[in-house]
Amino acid sequence: MKGIRRMVGIDRLNYYTPRSYLDMHTLAEARGVDPMKYIKGIGQEKMSVIGPHEDIITMAAEAAAPICDDKAAIDLIIFATESGVDYSKAAAIYLQHLLEIPNPVRVIELKQACYALTSGLHLARDFVLSHPGKKALVVSSDVAWYGFETAGEVTQGAGAIAMIVSENPRLAVVNSGTPYTSDVPDFYRPNTHDVPIVDGKFSIECYNTALKQTFTPGGYTYIGFHMPFAKMADKANRILQDDAISDDALLHVKSFSKEIGNIYNGSLYLALLGILTGVGDLTGETIGMFSYGSGSIGEFFTLDIQPNYQDVIEKDAWTTHLSSRQALDMLGYEMAMEHFIKREKETDYHFSLTAPDDATFALKAIDNGHRVYTRL
């Protein structure tokens, strides 16, 4: 009916991070650094490390599978990543097959540094508005890798975010945001490089500029910030001055990020997980969200939390997943990343190890560059 506003947004939300991590004390000792430089200086306590059976598609599947309870209604899959496995074929095609989402369905992969997931969320919102009764699966999955003994090593991590976007969402209505785009060389990875080219100080300046250009005051109790490292939330919050959130609120914003590390596209949504998990009742709250992707684009938008949101979030499962991970020593960390780096360059590969008992999906093989997955 004309004049009635249709509400569209996040109906379900989930995440996945690998089952192994490296403690920052362990990394600091190996690199001859005061642990407080990592823990207090950049705000990180742990770094998730990808397992030998995993890649960005399996992580995305692990995040998405528990919330795909109405597969026939999913008409669009958007996969945001800057860790893509193919220059041509979308990672979303592998994901559609692995999750057994039936046709007809559209799929696409998006890239713009750490911003693509936010772009995908808004594209999905517009898609659902123009396709009544349909839903969209929006995912991100990334492995942040800068190399051993580099300045960025402490800001690594791995993980995935999954969201179901629908009409009358049970979790949060997504409101239109304000974007800001600028051509800057703060962080980029040309085809000739295995790891990004990073100007950390300049990138923070670009981040701050984008935040200032897009922020809309609203008296928010909670604001999620994109966090390439957890301390970035503190730096960003100071930019807001009189509109800054409290120190207690910041603790919730950073709670997942400090345990997982940088997951590129999903990093902003780790902040949302922290808020949803740590705060008692958010009914009726409007949460600010600042997304930033180097190169660069920033966007500030808001989420209106719905009355029965607690019925569709999994606080216990989210926190248990973090607390049940296994710590690695330096040898385990180095072996895991060496395996990942070597495998990602191979055109033929066979997984010969045993996946963890609680894993659901695994990369079984690479056959002439084509990836073959299995449900365990």
Are 237 and 225 within 8 A, CB to CB? yes
Residue the block writes with tokens 């109405």:
70
Q: Three-state SS string across 49-63, please? A: ECCCCCCHHHHHHHH
- In the residue annotation, 29 being an active-site residue is answered as no
Are 66 and 43 within 8 A, CB to CB? no
Find all residues with CB under 8 Å of 84, minimum gap 6, and list them.
56, 91, 109, 111
- In the residue annotation, 131 being an active-site residue is answered as no
Measuring CA to CA, how many Å separate 319 from each of 24, 170, 256, 259, 282? Answer: 20, 21, 9, 11, 18
Distance CA 216, CA 181 (A): 16
Find all residues with CB under 8 Å of 111, minimum gap 6, and list them.
80, 81, 82, 84
Catalytic residue among 62, 226, 252, 259: 226
Catalytic residue among 54, 62, 82, 259: 82
- In the residue annotation, 114 being an active-site residue is answered as yes
Helices (H) and strands (E) in the chain, counts: 12, 18
Catalytic residue among 62, 109, 114, 206: 114
> Which residue numbers are catalytic?
82, 114, 226
